[in-house]
Amino acid sequence: MTNIIPRIDVKHLPILLPEVCCVYLYIVARPNHINFKKNNMKKVTTRLIFLISLISVYSFSGCKKVWDYVKQHPNGTANNCNVERVTFSFFPEYSLPSEGDKPLNDTLNITYNTAGNPVSMTYTSSRYPEIDPVDVFSSDHILRYDSKNRLAAFLENVSDNVRSDWAGCILWHKYTYVNNNLITDSIFSYGAGNYLISNRPDGGVSPFTIVEITLDSYGRIIKTSTWNTEDPARVEKTYTYDASGNLVKPGITYSNKTNIKQTNKVWMFLARDYSVNEPAGGALAYNSNNLPVLYSKRVPFFAEPYLTPDDSQARVYYKCK
């Protein structure tokens, strides 16, 4: 017996490990039933050990390729494109469409820093006096990052008198990175301060809500635990993803197109949705990158107005590399 181990195509290695082990055990247990010399046993053992090792390495490399792919796309699978603006129409909160009030046209403009992360989200409607002339807060948002390009602060609904280094807002989020799998979101209500140099509002105020955010090995949110300073009871929520990498939601199915939030990891984090694919039924058209460019009524997360005309559409404009 000179070729007890035949040549094997490497692509078949992962499925052959059980068979190889069985052959080897049979040879060891009943050598007299196999026509070869006993001094060949050492050669057979050596070759089988080598083959089993090769199978193990190959199988591990397959898993490693998945992990490498995730690491190579830390900003999302569609990070070659940035959402630049979204146009849509809506009825202001206190308007009466039934009495002839007309919808307003709006545009969301997004700016990015040199690292490709969003730093501001501004809505044209924030400058519309007819929406609420006495409201000092807008629909605009500001985002700030630390030296590692991680989201450090998120200011929601900043004040109309925002300056280049100061802003007031309805909600101020301060993010603390405990470890690779745990982030703390400290939420302050009606805070103000220099967001360029501080991750929290001025005045030494305490957060009214704390959210512990747990991530999986792929950096996706899989659990949140929330409590506030007045009620220490925790409210927990879990997030589960299917085999295609889409968030499991009741009644939601997915298309084979790319999810708009995959353009940037910040969108996925803020929306708590790392789905690879776009939900079915929402988008009406896609671009050559398989990203949605036209929606019926509204764009989830980016433009979800209080009330939209039944026949309105929202358009998304990208800048792609």
Across the range 100-105, mean pLDDT stands at: 81
Q: Kindly provide the residue ranges of all beta strands, DSSP E only, lying in the chain, ordered along the sequence.
A: 81-90, 104-112, 118-123, 141-145, 151-158, 167-179, 182-193, 209-215, 221-228, 235-238, 254-258, 277-279, 283-286, 292-296, 313-320
Residue that has been written with the tokens 């009825």 in this structure: 91
pLDDT classification of 163: cutoffs 50, 70, 90: low
Residue 3 lies in a domain: no
Residue 28 confidence (pLDDT): 41
Residue 151 lies in a domain: yes
- What is the CB-side half-sphere exposure of residue 282 using CA atoms within 13 A? 24
pLDDT tens digits, 67-88 = 444 445 656 777 899 999 999 8
Across the range 197-209, mean pLDDT stands at: 80
CA-based torsion, 26, 28, 29, 33: positive or negative: positive
CA 189 from centre of chain: 26
- The whole domain housing 142 covers 81-320
Q: Please indicate, yes or no, whether residues 51 and 168 belong to a single structural domain of this protein.
A: no
Residue 171 lies in a domain: yes
Residue 120 lies in a domain: yes
Of the two residues 92 and 134, the one the predictor is more confident about is 92
Q: Please indicate, yes or no, whether residues 48 and 173 belong to a single structural domain of this protein.
A: no
Residue 1 lies in a domain: no
Across the range 291-314, mean pLDDT stands at: 83
Residue 2 lies in a domain: no
Q: Please indicate, yes or no, whether residues 241 and 312 belong to a single structural domain of this protein.
A: yes
CA-based torsion, 110, 113, 116, 186: positive or negative: negative
Largest Cα–Cα separation, the chain? 98
**Which of 72, 93, 118 delimits the end of a domain?**
72
Q: Please indicate, yes or no, whether residues 62 and 203 belong to a single structural domain of this protein.
A: no
pTM confidence score: 0.74
**Which of 32, 55, 72 delimits the end of a domain?**
72
Residue 12 confidence (pLDDT): 42
Q: How many domains does the chain have?
A: 2
Count Cβ neighbours within 10 Å for each residue of 25-55 and write b for 16 or more, e otherwise.
Answer: eebeeeeeeeeeeeeeeeebeeebeebbeeb
Residue 60 confidence (pLDDT): 45
Q: Please indicate, yes or no, whether residues 203 and 105 belong to a single structural domain of this protein.
A: yes
| Structure-block tokens of residue 291 | 């990203």
Residue 65 lies in a domain: yes
Instruction: For the chain, report the end-to-end CA distance as a whole number of angstroms.
Output: 60
CA distances from 306 to 103, 142, 169, 272, 290 (A): 11, 21, 20, 21, 28
Whole-number CA gyration radius for the chain: 28
Q: How many residues does the chain have?
A: 321
Residue 20 confidence (pLDDT): 41
Q: Please indicate, yes or no, whether residues 138 and 183 belong to a single structural domain of this protein.
A: yes
Q: Please indicate, yes or no, whether residues 113 and 22 belong to a single structural domain of this protein.
A: no
Q: Please indicate, yes or no, whether residues 89 and 189 belong to a single structural domain of this protein.
A: yes
Task: Give the Cα separation of 20 and 285 in Å (integer).
Answer: 51
pLDDT at residue 174 tops 90: yes
pLDDT tens digits, 212-225 = 999 999 999 999 99
Of the two residues 169 and 272, the one the predictor is more confident about is 272
SS3 18: helix
Decide: 209 and 187 in contact? Cβ < 8 Å.
Answer: yes
**Which of 31-45, 86-100, 218-232, 282-296 has the lowest average pLDDT?**
31-45
Q: Please indicate, yes or no, whether residues 117 and 262 belong to a single structural domain of this protein.
A: yes
Residue 195 confidence (pLDDT): 77
Q: Please indicate, yes or no, whether residues 138 and 212 belong to a single structural domain of this protein.
A: yes
Q: Please indicate, yes or no, whether residues 45 and 144 belong to a single structural domain of this protein.
A: no
DSSP H helices, 73-129, are none
Residue 150 lies in a domain: yes
Of the two residues 91 and 170, the one the predictor is more confident about is 170
Pairing of strands 141-145, 221-228: unpaired
Average pLDDT of the chain is 77
**Which of 72, 90, 107 delimits the end of a domain?**
72
Q: Please indicate, yes or no, whether residues 183 and 237 belong to a single structural domain of this protein.
A: yes
Q: Answer left, alpha or beta for residue 92, where phi above 0 means left and psi between -120 and 50 means alpha.
A: beta
Residue 79 confidence (pLDDT): 83
